[in-house]
Structure formats: C-alpha cells, structure tokens
Amino acid sequence: MSNSKNPESLTDRSDAMISRRRFLSGTATGAAGVAVLHKTVADITIDPTKQQGAPPAALGERSPFEKPARKVISNILSTTPLQDLHGTITPADLHFERHHGGIPLIDPDKYKLIIHGMVERPLKFSLDELKRFPAITRSCFIECSGNTGEYFRADRKNTPQTLRGLTSQSEWTGVKLSTLFREAGISSRASWFLAEGNDAAVMTRSIPVEKAWDDALVAYAQNGEPLRPAQGYPVRLLLPGWEGNTSIKWLRRLELGEQPFMTREETSKYSEPLPDGRIRQFSFEMEANSVITSPAYPEKIEPGWLEVRGLAWSGSGKIVKVEVSTDAGQNWSVAELQEPVLAKSHTRFRYLWNWQGKPAVIMSRAVDQTGYIQPTHEALRDERGLGAPYHLNSIVGWEVRADGLVYFDVKSWA
C-alpha cells in the first residue's frame, strides 16, 4: 500500500525555511543548572530505536535541548518568556516575579492567617484549616501594574518577554475570602480590609470589602500543586484581574476597617498623577492588554502564509475580540480566539497573514466584555499623562523589515 518507504523519495520542506531555534538560541539566557536527562547531548548520535531509553523517575525533567528561563531584570523583578510559551498556562517555575523584600521561606506547619479588626470573632487559621473549607479552582492571569513600565526601554531589540513579560497565567485553588469573612462575622460597617504579607517588606495593601464578595480567593495551590515560594507559599491573596501587588503573597493578616489604611504602597507607589494634577489612586483593575508573541524580535520570517500569534487579557472580564493590523494600525482584522475563553485569563489569539515580503508593522488590540478597547499610546498619554510607570497597556507594534527581520516598533511607543 505504500511506495514511499525510501526517505529520499519524500518531499523535504525544511531546507528553504528559517530555523526559529537558530535565531532564538542567540538570546537564550542559559538557565544554569538544568540537568541533562540521564543521558548527555553527546549521546544523541545513537539511534534511539537501537538502545533502551531512560527509566521512569520520581520527577520529570525538561529536555536538555530546552532551556526556558525568566529574565532577571533586577533583585526585585523577573519576567516570563512569553515568546517561548504555547497555549495559555505559564509553567510555575516561569511565572514572573516581583518581590518587595525577596522570597521568604515559611514553614507550612507553623503558618497562621489572622483575621481581625471589625469582626465578631477574630480568628486564626492554620494551613490545614484553610484546606478544609470548600475549595475553588479557577484560571486567571496575574499582571504586575508595572508591566511595560519603569524597567522598560523602548529599544528595537525588545522581545515579548522584555516588553510584556510581567504577566503570567495559572490555575489557582483556594478558599473564597468571603467564606472566611463570614466565618469571622465581619461588621456591616467594614468596607475596607488590610492585607499584610509575611516578607521582609511586610507588604501591605488596602482592599475594598466588595472584592471579597466578588471573586477574591485565599489561594494555596497553583497549576495543580502547592504555590511556589516566589508566588507566596504557602498562602497568598488572589484578587483576579487586579494589579498584581494587591494579591499579597505570604499572606499573614487581614484586618477589617471602615476606610483605606493608607499604606506606603498606595501613596509612594501604585498611584498615578494625571495631566490635570489630580492623582489616580486605588487603580486596581488591569485594563485590557495584548501582545503578539510571534513573529517578534529576534525572529526572521519568510514571505508566504504564517500565523500571527499572541495573548490578550483583561482584568474586567472576558476578551471578546482581538484585532490584528499589519499596516501600523490603519486597518484591523479580527483574529481567532482560542476556546475556552475564560474571564480575567490569558486568551490565545491567532491570525493567518500572507506576508508579501514588504516592510510592515504588525499590531494587536484587545476588546473586553465591557466594550473597552485597548488604546493607542497617544490616546493613553492624552488621558493619563504617563507620569507613573503603571497601567501602561497601550497598543504596541513589531516592525517587519523587507529582509524578514522583526524588531520592536519604537514609534508605537512614542
């Protein structure tokens, strides 16, 4: 039934194509310490059908050919390699990091969460007690409000990771904060609560009680397993769709009150001066945003059909539309969204593009269920003045040169 067992007779489609690996390898940050799986890369010349492979193990490892890595920006920041990811989940060890006092090491058997203030019954919960309450699992992104912010430079050699890498997506499990508040019997006059972390910064934020009745979680698991230390082990607050710093990690205390507690995080940081001199404060919700993850710097593309791929997300709910422009925002076409589209979650979009080999600027813009449309950089500047490095969700572009090389479009950020 087959006459094509001789590989020489097959049509080989690879010679004329660019190797993405070859281009990306130059930028790999080299995750030191990724162990080789039982064999060395030097063994690779052996036909795998001619020798027994490696046995099962208690924990699997990555292929030695794959070295994904967060980019450590400073001693408080590392970014997710969005260009190396597929689908929507961020592997836990690649979730972006933003610490205010480093990652504490906490003994889960000594862990306590205190709820006090304007409550009938001040309570203290152990981790086991929290796990006994009815559990909730949901997927959502966490995005640092400083994404494309203070650390960002509008350089043409930006990658998706250096551009928008302060957002990551996980499946989280925990107990509803409303369940714990009911257990403590919070006062009907309580309208704000303080959330406090057990880290060297004693990170604290004031949160409206409404968020607890809406969708706040006290989370102890991420992508099926206990939280990683960098994401708040053993317990964090999770405020879906809100700026990442409010989802207090290493959560140790919740205090109910009648007004915001005015911590340093809501005065010296995490508020935005507006053009008219006022200050935008408690700007919790992350606005709709998107990024094209491929093609992007440092890729090189060839003329013909290719899939423009990226991620869109909104703190206000579901993404309802993503549009892609291949002419720097003059015309827009609707991209396909990957089902299931979940609220406050990274949503994968794809758009088939027939690149003709001419210079082009490709852009994406997200629309969420409230009708909000991701703004241009100019519109964002007019509205907000850009006096603080937060909530900078404007449309960005990638410049495709005639030779197929792709660079960050610096003009889109001007």
Closest CB to a copy of itself among residues 233, 413: 233
Would residue 299 be called left, alpha or beta, if left means φ above 0 and alpha means ψ between -120 and 50 degrees?
beta
Closest CB to a copy of itself among residues 139, 412: 139
Measure the CA–CA gap between 373 and 385, rounded to whole angstroms.
18
Strand 279-280 to strand 333-334: parallel, antiparallel, or no bridges (unpaired)? unpaired
Closest CB to a copy of itself among residues 221, 395: 221
| Nearest distance in Å: CB 383, a copy of itself | 32
Strand 236-238 to strand 113-117: parallel, antiparallel, or no bridges (unpaired)? unpaired
82 secondary structure, DSSP code:
G
Measure the CA–CA gap between 219 and 231, rounded to whole angstroms.
10
Closest CB to a copy of itself among residues 94, 216: 94
| Nearest distance in Å: CB 391, a copy of itself | 22
The answer to whether 82 and 291 have CB atoms below 8 angstroms apart is yes
Closest CB to a copy of itself among residues 205, 377: 205
Closest CB to a copy of itself among residues 23, 332: 23
Task: Pick the closest to residue 343 from 294, 285, 292, 390 (CA basis).
Answer: 285
| Nearest distance in Å: CB 90, a copy of itself | 6
| Nearest distance in Å: CB 179, a copy of itself | 12
| Nearest distance in Å: CB 324, a copy of itself | 14
Measure the CA–CA gap between 257 and 124, rounded to whole angstroms.
18
β partners of residue 360: 400
| Nearest distance in Å: CB 370, a copy of itself | 21
| Nearest distance in Å: CB 403, a copy of itself | 19
Measure the CA–CA gap between 95 and 169, rounded to whole angstroms.
8
CA angle 52, 54, 58 (to 5 degrees): 150
The answer to whether 307 and 353 have CB atoms below 8 angstroms apart is yes
| Nearest distance in Å: CB 291, a copy of itself | 15
Mapped onto helix, strand or coil, the DSSP state of residue 143 is: strand
CA angle 370, 374, 377 (to 5 degrees): 150
Measure the CA–CA gap between 20 and 141, rounded to whole angstroms.
27
Closest CB to a copy of itself among residues 40, 330: 40
Closest CB to a copy of itself among residues 49, 330: 49
